[in-house]
């Protein structure tokens, strides 16, 4: 059984696309909110869920993300963006932001998100601790 967010059931880049590209079919598809699908898979209520590669729950529940060897999903890599007027006023920001390039892969983001979602730490604290650890501040 597939447990997925309600929207995933009908989006072209969701279950319908998986059926077409991977010939993936489930006997039953159960729509659910983001928050309960991880509990549902951990309790055996569903066999597969849709997930974001950076979800902290992936590590918390020791899940495996399947490889998309058909490149069905577009990458959703994060990047820094800044207004030109802000960069004109503070040109040093460009070098600072560029130091983040390549520092945050999916596993690192999972760890950081898990600290917020499961350890209850504030996102600002987790981000600051990460930047300090990496020697950026």
Q: 21: domain CATH number?
A: 3.40.190.120
Q: What is the pLDDT of residue 136?
A: 86
Number of H helices, E strands in the chain: 7, 3
Residue range of the domain that includes 35: 2-50
Per the CB < 8 A criterion, the answer to whether 23 and 72 are in contact is: no
Do the domain assignments include residue 106?
yes
Q: How far apart are CA 16 and CA 8, in angstroms?
A: 9
Helical axes 123-133 vs 106-117, angle rounded to 10°: 140
Per-residue pLDDT in tens (0 to 9) along the chain, 137 residues: 999 999 999 999 999 999 999 999 999 999 999 889 999 999 999 999 999 999 999 999 999 999 999 999 988 888 888 999 999 999 999 998 899 888 999 999 999 999 999 899 999 999 999 999 998 88
Do the domain assignments include residue 75?
no
| Single pTM value for the model | 0.79
Number of compact structural domains in the chain: 2
């Amino acid at each position: 059984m597939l447990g997925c967010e309600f929207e995933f059931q009908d989006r072209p880049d969701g279950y319908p696309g998986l059926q077409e590209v991977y010939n993936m079919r489930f006997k039953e598809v159960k729509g659910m909110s983001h928050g309960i699908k991880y509990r549902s898979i951990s309790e055996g209520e569903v066999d597969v869920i849709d997930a974001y590669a950076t979800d902290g729950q992936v590590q918390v529940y020791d899940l495996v993300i399947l490889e998309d060897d058909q490149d069905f999903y577009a990458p959703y890599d994060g990047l820094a963006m800044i207004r030109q007027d802000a960069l004109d006023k503070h040109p040093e920001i460009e070098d600072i932001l560029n130091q983040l390039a390549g520092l945050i892969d999916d596993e690192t983001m999972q760890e950081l998100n898990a600290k917020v979602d499961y350890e209850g730490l504030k996102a600002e604290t987790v981000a600051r601790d990460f930047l300090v650890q990496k020697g950026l501040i």
